[in-house]
Structure 1
């Protein structure tokens, strides 16, 4: 059975790994660097996680659990939770995990899509394909984080830090708060897609 100090060390290692994996990617973060950032020995890290791959799996599992918790809170309350440094770091880690080809990262995205479908069922949003709607919406939202370097450059401030992050999120809220197409344009576009689909 682990002692309280073991559990604390395990959490410190996980948090340090998430920060370094986010910053450098899986390949760029070494066991030694993670151990040093966590204030533990490489041997203790290996004792808890076995290997860097084991540590990555543990980080992905923890992140998946946390994001699921946040999604469930949003689905149940229809209220956005507070924006905290922890939430920001979690978003950045999940995007990096997907970029690095993590199987759990892909599973997290699939899980997010499923939660998105459940959320859609509780709203008045109209869609002929709830799964595609949830999947594309998730990909569009993640695109902001995938293009954080480009966004930071054109906005003149780092969107990974609070002032720039808030500016980015505020813009996304304003985008989602109002339709970009008129009802007539929407109808024309959908009919054109239907015609094109019928020709395949």
Structure 2
């Protein structure tokens, strides 16, 4: 049976790993660095998690479970969980996990898309393709975190810090709270997309994006 100190050490290691993995990426954070940050020995870290990959899997699972709980609170209470400080930590970690090619990070995104489809079914929002709607919405939200450096440079403050993050989140709420296209513009664009889809239906082979000009 594990003692309370063992459980506390495990949590400290996990929290230190999440912080270093987010800052440096999986390859850049060593077992020794994580153990030192957690105030434990490398041997104790290996005792709890086996290896860095085992630790990474545990961090991914923990972060995903925390984000899932926050999303459920959002659905139940209609409160924007993204403004919570703990949400900020886990969002940045999971984005970094996706960038590093984590299988669990990819599973997290797929899970979020499924949750998004369920949410859509309970709203009055209109879409001809709920899966694509949820997936693109998720990608748009993740894009804010993937472009953290560019956003920080333009806004003049770090969007991974609380004030910058709140400023970024406020802008996203304002964007999503009002239409950017008039109904007429949206209808014309959708009609053109329908026309293009019909024109491609009869073509042989996969459709490819046109080549960009070289001059």
Q: Is this a same-fold pair by TM over 0.5?
A: yes
Instruction: Give the C-alpha shift of residue 82 in structure 1.
Output: 7.0
C-alpha distance in 1, partners of 2:167/2:187? 32
- From the CA coordinates, give the structure whose radius of gyration is larger: 2
**Counterpart for residue 99 of structure 2:** 99
Q: As a proportion of its length, which structure holds more helix?
A: 1
More divergent stretch after superposition (121-130 vs 176-185):
121-130
* Structure 2 contact 148–159 (Cα < 8 Å) conserved: yes
Conserved in 1, the CA contact under 8 Å of 2:71 and 2:81?
no
For 1:12, the equivalent position in structure 2 comes to 12
Q: CA deviation at 1:87?
A: 1.1
Q: TM-score, normalised by structure 1?
A: 0.97
* Cross-structure match for 1:71: 71
Which residue of 1 is the match for residue 29 of structure 2? 29
- Mapping of 1:53-72 within 5 angstroms? 53-72=53-72
| C-alpha displacement of 1:79 | 2.6
Gaps of 5+ in 1: none
What's the TM-score once normalised by structure 2's chain length?
0.91
The DSSP-based 3-state class of the residue aligned with 2:81 is coil
Distance 2:82 2:22 in 1: 21
Task: For residue 84 of structure 1, report the CA deviation from its aligned partner.
Answer: 2.9
- Structure 2: state its 5+ residue gaps: 201-215
> Following superposition of structure 1 onto structure 2, how do residues 86-165 of structure 1 map, counting pairs within 5 Å?
86-165=86-165
CA separation in 2, counterparts of 1:160 and 1:189?
Answer: 36
97 and 11 in structure 1: CA distance in 2 versus 1, 3 angstrom threshold: same
